[in-house]
Amino acid sequence: MGRMKNLNFLLLYIKMIGKRSGFAILFFVVFARVAGAQTGTTLKFGTLAPSGSAWVDAMMKFKQSVESQTKVKVVIYSGGVLGDESEMVRKLKEGKIQGGAFIVKAMKEIAPELDFLDVPFLFESYDEVRYIYENMRSDFEQLIDRNGFVLAEMSHHGFVKFFSVKPIRSFYELKNMRTWAWHGEPMIANFLNLLEVKPIFVEVTELLNALSNGLVETFQTTPLGCLSMQWCKIAKYVLDYNYRYEPGIVVISKGFFNSLSKNERDIIISEVRKTAKEINTQIERIQKEAESKLVQMGFTFSKPSPSEISELKDKVQQMIKNKIKGYEYYSKVIRLLEAYRKKKN
């Protein structure tokens, strides 16, 4: 019962702020703790979460605690008043805020070489994601550092599937459907182009209307995203394969971070990693609960054939050679994953 209450709350929460919710959750807890490490300055940060939510309420209590024990002035910008994630990246670079939590699009704006993390068919499980995050932390830190930020922690939003208003059994069937794509996200567009799909570009906030009027028939998201955005009131079919992993990233302005003492910096990193581990575990569990709920709702799940997946993996390998900036790091990920899978099996 407690888990379902948590799921229902998170569904309502994501409905209010959009598909980037998983990382907004991480943002709340992480940067509230970051605030406690800073002394004698003002820490400004923003969030997409709406004022009055349980998460922001918790942050406000933390704000009071920090300000009663230190000289830190904590300012919280909630409800997306700072704009979308791209706008928040701009404000970070301008020094108007000091930290942020993002997903794919903004992550690539901060460190373009990280564009390999959402390559289709790269990861098969969260265990693999954690393994790569642990073993390539120094690489990620260096990439983020080059662009004027400190990597507080890597996070994840979840694994993505295709959902449709029509029966779907194969990725190749997408070319015969009106398939939605996130405008400005090249990895998605490149994969759909590989499938000879001409995507329909619609803003996330307009996708429900597009599904209702038939402009869009098929879309991709996580199970939780499908439920929370109410898209699953219209779509009833799932191509049951986690074809793409959506990563997230939590960063802090390097100038701000370097202004702290070593002890404060150590506290920040320790608290961020502890919090990220807790929140990521929660997200993984709730995604599973969301998929179970779809089953209960009568969704039809159809798996593509193993031969199709093998063929698409080969095609993706050819596609990305000239499409991603971080191919060097991608190659390292492949070597690590091959060793990990061999050892596991």
Domain 2-344, CATH class in plain words: alpha beta
pLDDT in tens, 324-335: 898 999 999 999
Residue of 185, 290, 203 lying closest to 246 (CA atoms): 185
Which pLDDT score is estimated for 38? Answer: 40
Q: Is the pLDDT of residue 34 over 60?
A: no
Which pLDDT score is estimated for 59? Answer: 52
Q: What is the mean pLDDT of residues 67-73?
A: 63
Which pLDDT score is estimated for 135? Answer: 95
Q: Is the pLDDT of residue 302 over 50?
A: yes
Which pLDDT score is estimated for 65? Answer: 56
Which pLDDT score is estimated for 58? Answer: 43
C-alpha–C-alpha distance, residues 311 and 268, integer Å: 45
Across the chain, what does the average pLDDT equal?
Answer: 81
Contact 177, 166 (CB under 8 A): yes
Q: Assign residue 219 a region: left if phi > 0, alpha if psi is -120 to 50, beta otherwise?
A: beta
pLDDT in tens, 238-270: 999 999 998 888 788 998 888 877 777 776 676
When pLDDT is cut at 50, 70 and 90, the band that residue 36 belongs to is very low
Q: H/E/C letters for each residue in the chain?
A: CHHHHHHHHHHHHHHHHCCCHHHHHHHHHHHHHHHHHCCCCEEEEECCCCCCCHHHHHHHHHHHHHHHHCCCEEEEECCCCCCCHHHHHHHHHHCCCCEEEECHHHHHHHCHHHHHHHCCCCCCCHHHHHHHHHHCHHHHHHHHHHCCEEEEEEEEEEEEEEEECCCCCCHHHHHHCCEEECCCCHHHHHHHHHCCCCCEECCHHHHHHHHHCCCCCEEEECHHHHHHCCHHHCCCEEEEEEEEEEEEEEEEEHHHHHCCCHHHHHHHHHHHHHHHHHHHHHHHHHHHHHHHHHHHCCCEEECCCHHHHHHHHHHHHHHHCCCCCCHHHHHHHHHHHHHHHHHHC
Which pLDDT score is estimated for 33? Answer: 45
Q: What is the mean pLDDT of residues 70-84?
A: 70
Contact 46, 100 (CB under 8 A): yes
Which pLDDT score is estimated for 3? Answer: 54
When pLDDT is cut at 50, 70 and 90, the band that residue 145 belongs to is very high
Q: H/E/C letters for each residue in 133-171?
A: HHHCHHHHHHHHHHCCEEEEEEEEEEEEEEEECCCCCCH
Report pTM.
Answer: 0.79
Contact 30, 101 (CB under 8 A): yes
Contacts of 310 by beta carbon, 8 Å cutoff, 6+ apart:
none
Q: What is the mean pLDDT of residues 65-79?
A: 65
C-alpha–C-alpha distance, residues 234 and 215, integer Å: 13
Q: Is the pLDDT of residue 55 over 60?
A: no
Q: Give how far the C-alpha of residue 15 lies from the chain's centroid of Cα atoms, to the nearest Å.
A: 15
Which pLDDT score is estimated for 182? Answer: 78
- Residue-range domain boundaries for the chain: 2-344
Which pLDDT score is estimated for 116? Answer: 92
Q: What is the mean pLDDT of residues 156-169?
A: 93
Which pLDDT score is estimated for 117? Answer: 94
Which range has the top average pLDDT, 41-50, 107-116, 196-205, 233-242?
233-242
Contact 36, 260 (CB under 8 A): no
pLDDT in tens, 90-105: 898 998 988 776 778 8
Which pLDDT score is estimated for 1? Answer: 55
Contacts of 130 by beta carbon, 8 Å cutoff, 6+ apart:
none
Neighbours of 92 (CB within 10 A): 26
The residue ranking higher by pLDDT, 70 or 260, is 260
Which range has the top average pLDDT, 125-139, 222-236, 252-266?
125-139
C-alpha–C-alpha distance, residues 38 and 267, integer Å: 10
Q: Is the pLDDT of residue 297 over 70?
A: yes
Q: Is the pLDDT of residue 217 over 70?
A: yes
45 bridge partner residues: 76, 99
Which pLDDT score is estimated for 250? Answer: 77
Contact 144, 150 (CB under 8 A): yes
Which pLDDT score is estimated for 63? Answer: 62
Residue with token string 């779509």: 235
When pLDDT is cut at 50, 70 and 90, the band that residue 76 belongs to is confident
Among 105-109, 266-270, 339-343, whose mean pLDDT is lowest?
Answer: 266-270
Q: Is the pLDDT of residue 28 over 50?
A: no
